[in-house]
Amino acid sequence: MRSLNRCSKRRAVWLALALTAFALELVALCFQHIMLLKPCVLCIYQRCALYGIMASGLVGAISPATPLRFAGLIIWLYSAWKGLMLAMQYTDIQLHPSLLVTCDFCISFPTWLPLDKWMPLIFSTNGDCIVHQRRFLSMEMPRWMILIFIAYLVLAILILLSQFFPSRKRDFFSL
Is 129 among the residues known to form the active site? yes
Question: How far is the C-alpha of 105 from the C-alpha of 4, rounded, in Å?
Answer: 42
43 has catalytic annotation: yes
Verify whether residue 48 is a known catalytic residue. no
Tell me the C-alpha distance between 23 and 54, whole Å.
10
The catalytic position among 7, 11, 103, 143 is 103
Residue 128 CB burial class (10 angstroms; 0-12, 13-18, ≥19) = middle
Rounded Cα gap, residues 47 and 57, in angstroms: 15
> Are residues 54 and 138 in contact, defined by beta-carbon separation less than 8 angstroms?
no
Catalytic one of 2, 40, 143, 170: 40
Examine the residue annotation and report whether 10 is marked as an active-site residue of this protein. Answer: no
Given 2, 7, 30, 47, the catalytic residue: 47
Q: What are phi and psi of 123, to 5 degrees?
A: -110, 5
Is residue 40 annotated as part of the catalytic site, yes or no? Answer: yes
Selected catalytic residue, list 10, 11, 43, 48: 43
The CA distances from residue 37 to 63, 95, 107, in Å, are: 39, 19, 17
**From 129, 135, 143, 170, active-site residue:** 129
Show which residues are catalytic: 40, 43, 47, 103, 129
